[in-house]
Amino acid sequence: MWGCGDGFFTLPAARLVGEKGSVYAVDEDSDAVDRLNRKAALEGLTNIRSKAAGAEETVLCEACADIVFFGIVLHD
């Protein structure tokens, strides 16, 4: 399984939506989520809501997203 990793898409998305927006990020790898959180903190990004969990069983919010982005999900 793959998820947000350490922020390849998450960090640019957080910059793009700005302080008034939110970016939700999920990955089963808690180490990757920790790296993402450290990178976000270094940039002062406070609009990322991250969680170490499987995406298939995770509900981050209900009817709260304007855009849902899944990147690099078709592989091998």
Q: What is the CATH number of the domain that holds 25?
A: 3.40.50.150
Distances (CA, A) of 52 to 16, 18, 66: 23, 23, 22
Count of domains for the chain: 1
pLDDT of residue 36: 98
Whether 17 has a pLDDT exceeding 60, the answer reads yes
Would you state the structure tokens that stand for residue 52, as one six-digit string?
């170490």
pLDDT at 32: 95
Domain containing residue 62:
1-76
Single pTM value for the model: 0.86
Q: How far apart are CA 67 and CA 76, in angstroms?
A: 26
Handedness of CA 9, 55, 67, 48 (dihedral sign): negative
pLDDT tens, residue by residue, 20-60? 999 999 999 999 999 999 999 999 999 999 999 987 788 88
Residue-wise DSSP of 55-72: GGG----SS--S-----S
